[in-house]
Structure 1
């Protein structure tokens, strides 16, 4: 069975109604991204960060996976598929994808605060709160403040090596809904095998010049239809 690695960005969830901080709309209109999505912002005002993610989870509860999420999940009927996502929502899982690597964390999960610029936490300390709320003073079993299980700007991306391994082993690399502007995820295509075709679905120009690339300049939902046509599915 051929292996497909799928890298997704905010564009795949935008059609479900989740706005991105680069585009106007939704929660990001009311918050400065560097105040609610960076480690410095957390250290300055954790209450504000918790408030933002409480709002994000509330919004997430009200939206559903779209046709692009479902099409990616359906690839598992014919391929071994691993989704690598920059998104912190759970829409891939809700659509039916069974192997999902969250590069930037998961908004529905929390863990104990472990110190400034410190990612030394155990996966056993991470737990799912669903769409619930966390406020300042909510403590983990070890007595430390709970924080979102998010990779903030300014923090390392602990699962990037796993993502590299997934891409390196892939027979097809599909990139959906990202303009490849955020590193280290933007450089993952370089780990694809020389003979591995790369398909990029994004309506915007992307800064990639590689003979392996086929750029489908469409939204995620329409682009997935075109991708399936190219595969002959």
Structure 2
């Protein structure tokens, strides 16, 4: 049995990391077109860096919550009985890894990494970024950017994600808005392949009607309860 789990901002909200599209989410306070596009970075790199430096420091002070730990437990529990978890996240934080998850696919990149637009090198990065910071690989300044997927850019690892989705026996979306594509289309793709689908969310998502089953409540409560249900089967 293979379970494909997709996580979104809702799984990290109780760790103090902001969601994006809720009433009080990040995009209600900041204009994504001025902070999260290649054009914004080319036009105002200092402003973009300041935004992501703020988010990076917020992440470094955050801790995994019970939902992250439950999914790490699920990975181990499935492996012990010969089954498999494919954990794909839209989140750019590392809280899944810090909770113990060993295999995480970050389709929108990772905030604690930087990528050089000059030489293409990607590297771990925990400090602030700025236009004056030289790339450790090619030594050029001005080319380092957060290793995150901005609006208008292609998500990462899509071939591996497509393969895993076709091979799954169960698709579960946790803490997602159901409005950001291509991730919002994963449930319809799963249904086309005859895969059973679940949603676990604080409240029904924009595409909740496409799921076979739903569990609703805080992620720190709903996810551990669902994991216990799965491992007891």
TM-score, normalising length from structure 1?
0.86
**Structure 1 unaligned residues grouped into runs of 5+:** 115-120
Aligned counterpart, 1:106: 110
Runs of 4+ in 1 over 4 A off after TM superposition: 24-30
Aligned counterpart, 2:66: 67
**Structure 2 unaligned residues grouped into runs of 5+:** 79-83
Preserved CA contact (<8 Å) 1:204 1:217: yes
Preserved CA contact (<8 Å) 1:10 1:86: yes
Aligned counterpart, 1:118: none
Deviation at 1:31, TM superposition (A): 3.3
Preserved CA contact (<8 Å) 2:199 2:215: yes
Preserved CA contact (<8 Å) 1:169 1:192: no
CA distance, structure 1, for counterparts of residue 26 and residue 156 of structure 2: 27
CA distance, structure 1, for counterparts of residue 221 and residue 230 of structure 2: 15
CA distance, structure 1, for counterparts of residue 208 and residue 28 of structure 2: 30
1:69-88 correspondence runs (5 A): 69-79=68-78, 80-88=84-92
CA distance, structure 2, for counterparts of residue 50 and residue 73 of structure 1: 32
1:139 is aligned to 2:134:
yes
What's the CA shift string for 1:128-167, capped at 9, x where partnerless? Answer: 01x2111112232332610110110111123222212112
Deviation at 1:30, TM superposition (A): 5.8
TM-score, normalising length from structure 2?
0.86
1:165 is aligned to 2:163:
yes
1:158-197 correspondence runs (5 A): 158-192=156-190, 194-197=193-196
What's the CA shift string for 1:100-152, capped at 9, x where partnerless? Answer: 111111000011125xxxxxx75xx11001x2111112232332610110110
Deviation at 1:48, TM superposition (A): 1.0
1:128 is aligned to 2:136:
no
CA distance, structure 2, for counterparts of residue 7 and residue 87 of structure 1: 10
Deviation at 1:230, TM superposition (A): 3.7
Where 2:172 maps in the other structure, the secondary structure is strand
What is the Cα-based RMSD across aligned positions, in Å? Answer: 2.2
What's the CA shift string for 1:145-197, capped at 9, x where partnerless? Answer: 10110110111123222212112111222210002110001111233264432
Where 2:12 maps in the other structure, the secondary structure is helix
Moved more, 182-191 or 16-25: 16-25
Where 2:147 maps in the other structure, the secondary structure is strand
Where 1:209 maps in the other structure, the secondary structure is helix
Deviation at 1:65, TM superposition (A): 0.3
1:1-233 correspondence runs (5 A): 2-23=1-22, 31-79=30-78, 80-113=84-117, 125-129=121-125, 131-140=126-135, 141-142=137-138, 143=140, 145-192=143-190, 194-206=193-205, 207-210=207-210, 213-231=212-230, 233=232
Preserved CA contact (<8 Å) 1:110 1:148: yes
